Amino acid sequence: MTGRIPLRKRLLVRLLIASVLIAVCSVAATAWLAVTTTTSALREEQGQDLAADMDILARLSGYAAGHPDWKGVRQTVRDLAAKTGRRIALTSPDRVLLADSAPRGTPLPPRPAASVDPLRTDTYTEPGAQLSGLDPRAVGPYRLTAGERERLDAVAAKQRACFEGFGIRATIERTPAGRPFVTAADGTAAPGYFEDRCGYPPAAPTATERRALTALTGRTSACLARKGMDPDLPLYLMLDPGSAGASGRFLVKYAGAADDKGTRLVQSCVDSARRAQLDPYVAPVAELFLGFGDQATPRFDMSPANKAKVVGAAGLVLAVTVAVTAVVATRLVRPLRALTAAAQQPPERHVRVPVTTRDETGILAEAFNDLTERRERLEAQRKAMVSDIAHELRSPLTNIRGWLEVTRDGLVEPDPALLDSLHEEALVLQRVIDDLQDLAAADAGTLRLHREPVAAGDLLDQVAAAHRVAADAGGVTLRTESGGDPWLDADPVRMRQALGNLVSNALRHTPADGTVTLAARRDGDEVVFTVADTGHGIAADDLPHVFDRFWRAEKSRSRRTGGSGLGLPIVRHLVAAHGGTAGAASEPGQGAVLTLRLPGIPPPRDG
C-alpha cells in the first residue's frame, strides 16, 4: 500500500514540508519582530534621552533666568544628574568649570551639547520663547513688588468669582514676574463675552512695570536713531494682556512705522533693547556638557558580527526544527501504519493493535481495539439472538404443523380442545413476534410514546387487576402498595406493558403460597416502582444479565416456564424511552426485587 502512495502525498513528507515552512516563517517573523521591537525600543530610548536632555537644558535656562550668576547652581546640577542618570557639566565659554556632577578630574566630552543663554534660547526649549528668543522666566526689573501682587490678586479674585457666578470654573495663574491672570479650569482662556460684566483683566502697568517700560522705551528710541528712524516720533510700548504666559511680549505702536518693514525694525530694536535691559539680571552664557566620562552620546547600530549572529541563530533554529520534526513525524507514522494494517484484515479475525504510546495515536489505538472488541461481542450476540429466535419460533410452529398434519390425515378430530391448543400456540407465536417488533422499534429509535400525566397508584391498580386471575391460578398473593401520591409524565399503555412484564416474570418465579408486591413511591424528583417476589431469587453472577435478550436464569426452562427471554429487555427499553433506569437486586433464596426509576412531576391541579 505504501508503494502506491505518491511521495508528495505521504504524511511524513507533508509533515516535513509543513514543519519547514512553519519554521522558516516563524524564524523570519521572530527575526523581523525582534529587529522591529529593538529598533522601536532604541528610538524610544533615544526619544526619552532627548526629552531628558531638553528638560535639563530648560531647568538650567530657568536657573540662569532667575539668577545673576552661576554660584549656587551645583546643587541643581547634582539633583538633575541623580534624576536623569546623566553626567551634567557647566563651563564658561572658555572651558572654565562652573559645576560638574562627575568626580573632580573626570574629562569632559569632546563637544558641548548646548549653550545655556536665557537671552537667546532655543525656540524648542521653553514654551513662550518662540517669538522673541528670550526665556520668559527672565523678568529682571519687571518683577512686581509684594504690594503690587496683592492688589492685582484682589482684582483677579473678583473676576474669577464673577466668572464662577455664571457657571464658568476658572483658576488664577501667574506670570514669572508675578502678574496674575484668570483662565478657565481646562487651561483655555476665559470666555471674552463675559468680560464686560466681570471686568477686564488688570492689564494696566504697575509702577514697577512703568519704570521698566520707560527705560525700555529710551533704549528702543536710541536703537531706532541708530537705524535711521526718527526717535522723536511717538513710541508706545505696553504689556500684551493676551500673552500673559509669555510675560515679556509687548504691543508696539510707532507713528513712523507705517509698513511691515518699519514694524519689524521697531520690534527688532525692542528685542535688542530688552536683552540689554535684562542682561544684568541673568547669568552669563554657559556651555552644557552631557554624557559619561569622555564618551559622547552612543550611537545605536547593528554591527556585521551581530548580524552574523542573528543569521547563524536563525539557521540553527531551522536545522533543529527540521530534525525534531523528522523524528516526531517518524514516531507518528509508525502506529498509524499498524492501525492501517489491522483495519485491512478480514472482519472475522478481529485483529487488535499494540498500544505503544499515550498520545493521540495511542488513544486512537485504544479506541480501535475497543471498537474491535465491541464488534466481536455484537457478532456473538447476533449469532446467539438468531439461534434463540429460531428456537422460540420453531417450537410453536412445530406444534401447530404437527396437529394440522394429523388432523388433515384424519387421525385426530378437530374438536374444541385441539383448536384451543392451536390457538394458544398461535398466541405464543404472536407474543414473540410482538416482542421482537417492540425491540426493533426501540433499537431504531422509532418507539412512539403518547405522554400524559399518570398517577402511579392508578397504574398499580390496573396492572394488578390484569394479572389477578393468573396470580390466583398459581396460588400467589398479588398486592399493591403506594406511598404518597406520586405522578409521572408517561405513556400509560407502555408503562402498563413494562410493569406487566415485571409482574408476569415475578409470578412465573414465585411458588404457590408466595407473594408478589407491586409498589410505588416518590424519591426526591423521581418515582420508584418496585416488583418484589418471594421466589428463589437470582444468583449474583446472573444479576448483570437480567435485562439481556433471551436470557434465562435457568437454562433448562422452556418458554412456557421461563418466558421468551424478551420481556425484561423490553422493560429496559421502555423505561429508557421515558428517561428512566431499570435495576435488579436479589438474595438467593429470598426472592428478587426489580426497580424502575422514572422522572416524577407535581400532581396536576384540579380543574
pLDDT band of residue 102 (cuts 50, 70, 90) is confident
Length of the chain: 607
- DSSP assignment of 196-215 equals HHH-----S--HHHHHHHHH
- Residue 249 in contact with residue 131, Cβ under 8 Å? yes
Q: 487-490 and 515-523 as β-strands: parallel, antiparallel, unpaired?
A: unpaired
All cell numbers assigned to 35:
529587529
Q: How many CA atoms lie within 13 A of 66 on its CB side?
A: 11
* CA distance linking residue 360 with residue 401, whole number of Å: 60
| Domain topology for 369-441 | Helix Hairpins (1.10.287)
H-type alpha helices, 176-259: 195-198, 207-226
pLDDT in tens, 427-454: 767 766 776 776 666 666 666 778 899 9
pLDDT at 492: 87
Return d(Cα 51, Cα 318) in angstroms, integer: 42
pLDDT tens track for 333-392: 777 777 788 877 787 777 888 877 666 667 777 888 888 888 887 777 677 667 666 766
The answer on pLDDT for 403 being more than 70 is: yes
Q: Which of 63, 83, 79 is nearest to 71 (CA)?
A: 63
| DSSP annotation string for 523-566 | ETTEEEEEEEE-SS---TTTGGGTTSTT--SSTT--HHHH--S-
Count of Cβ atoms closer than 10 Å to residue 266 Cβ: 22
- Helices (DSSP H) in 445-491: which residue ranges? 456-466, 468-473
- As beta bridge partners, residue 599 has 526
Question: Which pLDDT does position 310 carry in this prediction?
Answer: 60
Q: How far is CA 524 from the centre of its chain?
A: 39
- Pairing status of strand 477-482 against strand 515-523: parallel
pLDDT score, position 598: 92
Helices (H), 487-532: 492-508
How many Cα neighbours within 13 Å face the side chain of 377?
Answer: 6
Is the CB of residue 216 less than 8 Å from the CB of residue 99?
no
Q: Which amino acid is at 391?
A: H
Query: Grid coordinates representing 150?
Result: 496683592
- Give the 3-state secondary structure of residue 417: helix
Q: Check pLDDT > 90 for residue 529.
A: yes
Q: Does position 303 have pLDDT exceeding 60, yes or no?
A: no
Mean confidence (pLDDT) of the chain: 76
Please report which confidence band the pLDDT of residue 263 belongs to, taking 50, 70 and 90 as the band edges. Answer: confident
- More confidently predicted of 388 and 255: 388
State CA 455 to chain mean position distance. 50
Looking at CATH, the fold of the domain delimited by 448-601 is given as Heat Shock Protein 90 (3.30.565)
In 3D space, the residue among 527, 480, 541, 540 whose CA is nearest the CA of residue 506 turns out to be 480
Strand (E) or helix (H) holding 377: helix 360-408
Query: In which band, very low, low, confident or very high, does the pLDDT at 536 lie, cut at 50, 70 and 90?
Result: confident
Q: Is the pLDDT of residue 548 over 90?
A: no
- Note if the pTM is more than 0.75: no
Q: Say if residue 218 is exposed, middle or buried (CB neighbours under 10 Å; 0-12, 13-18, 19+).
A: middle
- Distances from the Cα of 57 to the Cαs of 80, 88, 114, in angstroms? 10, 10, 8
Domain limits of the chain?
Answer: 1-112+294-344, 140-281, 369-441, 448-601
